[in-house]
Each structure stands twice: as C-alpha cells, then as structure tokens.
Amino acid sequence: MDQTKKIVHIVGTGTIGEPLIGLFVRKQKELGIDEVTFHKQTPTPLDRPKIENLVKRGAKLCVDKDHWGQFENIGYKPAYTRREALERASVVVDCTPSGVGQQNKTDFYNSYKNNTLGFMAQGSEFGFGKMYARGINDEAFNPQKDKFLQIVSCNTHSLAILTKTLGVDAKNKVSNIENAQFVLMRRANDVSQTKDFLPAPQLGKHSDKSFGTHHARDLHHLFKTLSVDLNVYSSSVKIPTQYMHTLWFNVKLKKPMTLEEVKNRFIENPLVAITNRQTVNEVFSFGRDHGYYGRILNQVVVSMPTVEVLQGGKEVVGFCMTPQDGNSLLSTVAATLKYLYREEWEEKLKLFDPYIFKEI
C-alpha cells in the first residue's frame, strides 16, 4: 500500500464494476480518495469506449503484465500492471463473476493482506469474507480485524432490511421473527446485459436443503454476524423483465403488530422507501429521473397497498421492489469508507442522501 495516498482499486468492469468505478471517480474529491485504479481482464476493442471514458474522468487502467502489449496494440493506455496496482491499493473491490473473486483471493489478495486495509467481493462470492450490508450489521464489521468482506447481493439487502424493520425490538435487537418466507421474482437480466433474456418465467430449484435458495442462506449468515439465528426460507423465479426485481414476503412474528404499526415501521426506516404504486416500471422510471445516474439508493421499496397483517397481527405479507444494484453499490462505498476513514465514514456517506427517498 502506498502509505501517502488513499487508493481504491476495482477489479472488473462489468455490470457492477463499471458503475462503481464511475461513482468513485465522480465523487473522488468529496469522498477523500486520492486515486481510483481499475483492472480489466480481456483486451477487446468493444470495451474501448467505456474504458477510455473512465480514464478520461480520472480512473487509471491496470492490466496483467502479459496482456499489456495486446491492450496497447488496440489503443488502450494502461498505467499499472495488476501487481503494481495491488501493491499500491489501500482498498480492493473485486467485481468479478462467481468463483473468480475466491480464485483472485488465493492467487493474489492473500499475499497483499498485511499491506492493504481491506478487500471485498460481491454477491456471488459466498465465503470470501464477513458478510456486510450497510445499516444491517455495521456493528459486526470491524475494519481493523475484518480484512475480507462480502457485500451481499441486492436481493439479500432487501430481505435483510425487511427482516430488520419488522423484527427489531426496543434494544435494536432482531428478536421478534418467528420465521419468514420469501419469493424472489428476479428480472431476467440487468439492463446492461445481453444474454439470458427469457420469454417465460423460469422456476428456480431449492438447491439449499435448509434455506431454499442462496438469498435466505445469505440472509441467515448476515444476521449470524449479529448473533441472531433466523429461521428463513426463499424461492426464486426469473421473470421476463429488465426492470426491477420484485419480492413477496411472509414474515411470522412472535409478538403481534397492527397494520398501522407495520406501515409506520416502513415509513420511519430511512433506508426503506415506500410507494403507493403497484407497477414496477413507474418506480424504475422514477429512479431514471431522480436517482443517482438512474439508481434509487434505498435498500428496498415497499408497495404499501399490498401490505397486510394476518393471524391477529402475527403474520405480515406484502410485495416490494429491489432498487436495481443501488443498494449493494452504496454498501460497497460505505465499507470502502469504513476502511479509509474509521471516524468520518458516515459523515462522508451523507453525500448520497439525496438519492435515498422516503416516498416514490
């Protein structure tokens, strides 16, 4: 690590990596970051416009030493090799597909861990490090001890904030959840992706014996960092839309609540946005005009007309929407700032408050 600078290094320029590099360079000064570097794996002319644009805005391109010539031959201008970038970085954010982050940890990150403040990976890297979602388990994340983090997936953020909002007691402990079930209706692909669009719903297997899909499994492990043992189960289905993921929840409570109390909890939680709309494209469209480059940064949007209590207030059902990738991007920024600025991270994160809405 370059001791004189605060340097954030992002690995991957795909669905998550590209907006994250863009966000860090755009807000570099306000966030107190001296340099943003990023690694690109494949030398292809197709990606040149996006990479050139990121470089023009101040981010520095890093490539593997043995790919350097190939990148230069097609017009890229790398600044550092992968190893040079890792040697200089204060914080490393891995945004590579499933399994690659773990491999990168074995091949590279482990040898820099004494020299770097922290490493994080995204939704698919189960086991990479301690699970983290901003506003859910901040007290469990100690930047001095936890060198490796996994930022949970966007849908896990939604499940987590629903569970916390409904389950929390006066001492801020999540103690009121008997059990919960979720059906995640996932968009077929992200707006920037070109494959896997389906013309019909595709039903997911319950491949995890205890939790159904990885969403409830990750939720369980996220709350385990707070010593809360959640009994939760999830199912998932991919639906033919590119808008937002939607989800149905059924949360059984130990102590009953009135519908008014449930709704008030959603209204009062600053990370939850409420909406009286029941159509996803209207909420997505709100994000395009009012969000951070199209993104709503709340952790979840609850559709209030769909919320009901059953069984004398012991069961809560409803629908909500997952704000694109905004929630995991903001948790990634929060974790980066926690590594860089242990005292002032929350103050600096307020920069994004205008994109966290009370109502949509």
Ligand X SMILES: NC(=O)c1ccc[n+]([C@@H]2O[C@H](COP(=O)([O-])OP(=O)(O)OC[C@H]3O[C@@H](n4cnc5c(N)ncnc54)[C@H](OP(=O)(O)O)[C@@H]3O)[C@@H](O)[C@H]2O)c1
**Nearer to ligand X (CB atom), residue 284 or residue 341:** 284
- CB 40 to ligand X: min, Å: 5
CA distance 320 to 237: 15
**Nearer to ligand X (CB atom), residue 84 or residue 190:** 190
**Nearer to ligand X (CB atom), residue 186 or residue 265:** 186
CA distance 330 to 77: 29
**Nearer to ligand X (CB atom), residue 48 or residue 252:** 48
The structure tokens listed for 338 are 């926690």
Longest dimension (CA), the chain: 69
Sign, CA torsion 145/147/152/157: positive
Report in angstroms the alpha-carbon separations of 356 from 2, 269, 271: 34, 11, 7
**Nearer to ligand X (CB atom), residue 147 or residue 295:** 295
- CB 46 to ligand X: min, Å: 9
**Residue numbers of the site for ligand X (CB under 6 A)?**
11-17, 39-42, 95-97, 100, 104, 122-125, 153-154, 190, 325, 328
Cβ neighbours of residue 222 closer than 8 Å, sequence gap 6 or more: 131, 132, 133, 136, 137, 152, 156, 160
- CB 100 to ligand X: min, Å: 5
Report in angstroms the alpha-carbon separations of 104 from 20, 40, 79, 150, 216: 19, 13, 21, 14, 26
- CB 263 to ligand X: min, Å: 27
- CB 325 to ligand X: min, Å: 3
- CB 22 to ligand X: min, Å: 13
**Nearer to ligand X (CB atom), residue 167 or residue 323:** 323
Could you give the 3-state DSSP secondary structure of residue 8? strand
- CB 271 to ligand X: min, Å: 15
**Nearer to ligand X (CB atom), residue 108 or residue 248:** 108
- CB 292 to ligand X: min, Å: 14
Q: Pick from 192, 215, 216, 197: which is nearest to 295 by CA?
A: 192
**Nearer to ligand X (CB atom), residue 133 or residue 183:** 133
33 within 8 A of 7, measured Cβ to Cβ: yes
- CB 283 to ligand X: min, Å: 16
**Nearer to ligand X (CB atom), residue 16 or residue 309:** 16
Q: Pick from 138, 72, 49: which is nearest to 345 by CA?
A: 138
Name the CA dihedral angle for 229, 232, 237, 240, rounded to a multiple of 10 degrees.
-70
140 exposure class (CB count in 10 Å sphere: 0-12, 13-18, 19+): middle
Report in angstroms the alpha-carbon separations of 280 from 59, 226, 239, 240, 290: 34, 33, 13, 13, 16
Q: Which residue is nearest to ligand X (CB)?
A: 14
